[in-house]
Structure formats: C-alpha cells, structure tokens
Amino acid sequence: MSKPQLDPISEQAIDWMVKLRAETPTPDLLKRFTCWLNHDPAHQQAWTTLQNRIGASFNPLRALDNRVPGQASEARKVLLQPHTTRRDALRMIAGLGVLGGGVWLGAKSPSGVSLLADLSTGRAQRQDFNLADGSHLSLNANSAVDLHFDAAQRLLILRRGELVIQVAPDPQRPLRVRTAQGEVRALGTRFLVSQEHGVSRVVVLQHAVETRLPNGATLNLQESQSALLHADRITPVPGEQRQRADWQSGRLNVLDDPLEQVVDALRPYTRGFVRVAPEVRQLRVQGVYPLNDPQRAFAALAETHAIRVDHYSPWLTVISAR
C-alpha cells in the first residue's frame, strides 16, 4: 500500500516546523517565516493545520505510542530529535497521516488522540462530565480520556492532558486512572492527574490515593501530597501542589516552576507555535496567570521575569532572555 502524499504547501509548513525547532530563531529566519506565512492564505492554513494536529510539544505523537506502538514510537523518536531533517519529519508525518489519511482519517477533532478517545477537549476548552457511576470528571484543554466502566471495573485512561476527578464511592469497583507511566487508585477521594513529558503528575486534593507502576512499585499519597510517576520510580514532590487544580477556575497558579513547564501549561490555550529559548527554559517562575488570555499571561511573564516575548505573527511566539 502506498504512503499518503502531502501537497507542496504542507511540505513547506513541515520545513518551517523543523527549522524553528532545530535552530535558534534569528531575526532573518523569523522575517522569512513571517513573509512565507503572509504570502498566501493557504500557507497560514497549512501552518495552523500542522500545529493543531501535531501540537507544538508533539504530545499527540507521544500519546499515540499506546495506540500504534510501531509507527508512532518511531515518529516520536524522529520528531523529538534536535537535529531532525525535513526528509525524516516528512517521512514520519506522511506515514502517520497527520495531514491527511492514515491514522487520522475521518477524525472528529484535530488530533488523532481525540479521535480515538471517549471524552476529549480542544484548544482553550475546559469541560466537566458527569460519569455513569456518579463521579464528576473535569478535563483541562487539549485533554483526552478513555472510559472502561463495566460490572467489574471503573478505569479511566488519560491519553493526553490533565484531569481532576471527584470519585463516587463504590467499594466493589475502586476507580483507577491509568497513564503512560502507571496507575492511580482512588481511596475515596478527589485528585488531579496530568500526563506530562515522560512523566505523570498526581496531586491529592481530598483524602488519599495509591499510585502504582508496572514494575510493582507503589506509594500511597495523602491529602495535599503529590508525586511524579516515572517509568521506573515514583518521586514524591515536596511542598504545596493543590494550586495546580486552579485551571478549573481559569487560572494558572505557579509557585516555583521552570518557565518551560509554565509555557507547556499555556500551550493548550495558545494558537500557533511557542518556542522557548534554551537559556531561559529553567528560569524559576512564580505568579498567577489567566489561562483564557494567554497573550496577557505572556505579557505578565515578561514584566516580572528577565525574559522578552516576541509575537512575530498569530502563529509564532518566541520567548528569550531579555
């Protein structure tokens, strides 16, 4: 069977994606990118489509590992390499059908993860769900969850993004949330789970949970405690973490996180591509920022930290040292 073919404009959009990811954006590079965007509305459409369907942080391809373990894993390895070539990116993207056909054929939302999920949200969209067992589920923007509820189990699989769940009691069927790294079992509780880059975050908002890895490692967390689930270990996170659930009220409440992590939290609410220069990615950030107005959030970050935020078009934002 022949591989899906991409049109020339989509190929050009992939060219720009690779250049902006692999290189330090120079004024000349950004000027040429802006000229390309503004040259033809078809260019803007191709760029928007690519960013929507892959995502600036490539999270959909990461999550697809669980769905299409062969192709998706290879695509992730290639796309996440710092020196990925256009040919490599094009080969992998075409093979997965990100811009047409393949895995995403007939998608009901821009991302293949959302297509395959039972419940999902899009860019800048938060949504609450009342589940069949009486539990209350909240999804942050750009999140996707599968539900496996039957007479024997209550299982949620977090494919992408972040959730908060208020668990209805059912001693015969403890509710579990599964991520790419492990599982969280409710012990009569309300808690947060987020799927991040190579790690899952768990924050207990009420009562307690049990966290477990495939290798058998377990850790019980009590109210206000949190942990990171890695592939091979569970790491408790010191300090207060319950403010991470403030996204339910449209706020990003940051106590002491690296700038890169803060930008990752804003990406699901932001149009286009946001690039953070390597020299400021680990800058420690504090503050409360509006999720529903990411441009205002970026402006506030620039006012209170030693960074500059340059918007070269609605599709490209670059954050660098001041």
Facing residues of 235 across strands?
228
User: Which amino acid belongs to residue 246?
Assistant: D
300, two tokens: 């506030």
What string of pLDDT tens digits covers the 322 residues of the chain? 444 455 678 778 877 877 776 556 677 787 888 888 888 888 888 887 776 655 433 444 444 444 443 444 444 444 444 444 545 555 555 544 444 433 333 333 344 555 557 898 988 999 999 999 999 999 999 999 999 999 999 999 999 999 999 999 998 999 999 999 999 999 989 999 999 989 999 999 999 999 999 999 999 999 999 999 999 999 999 988 999 999 999 999 999 999 999 999 999 999 888 989 999 999 999 999 999 999 999 999 999 999 999 988 778 899 999 8
Q: Which CATH architecture has domain 117-243?
A: Sandwich (2.60)
Q: Which of these CATH numbers, 3.40.50.300, 3.55.50.30, 1.25.40.10, 3.30.70.240, describes 250-321?
A: 3.55.50.30
Give residue 155's pLDDT: 95
The predicted structure's pLDDT at residue 54: 55
250-321 matches 117-243 in CATH topology: no
Cα→Cα distances 185→148, 193, 203, 226, Å:
14, 11, 12, 14
CA separation for the pair 279, 173 (Å, rounded): 48
| Residue 126: HSE in the Cβ half-sphere, 13 Å Cα cutoff | 17
The pLDDT score that the predictor gives to residue 82 is 46
Give pLDDT, residue 124. 92
Q: Where are the domains of the chain?
A: 8-113, 117-243, 250-321
DSSP one-letter string for 262-290: HHHHHGGG--SEEEE-GGGTT-EEEEEEE
CA distances from 165 to 136, 137, 139, 222 (A): 6, 5, 9, 16
Q: Which two tokens mark 145?
A: 């969850």
Burial of 112 (0-12, 13-18, 19+ CB in 10 A): buried
As a whole number of angstroms, the distance between CA 183 and CA 201 comes to: 11
Return the pLDDT at 60. 40
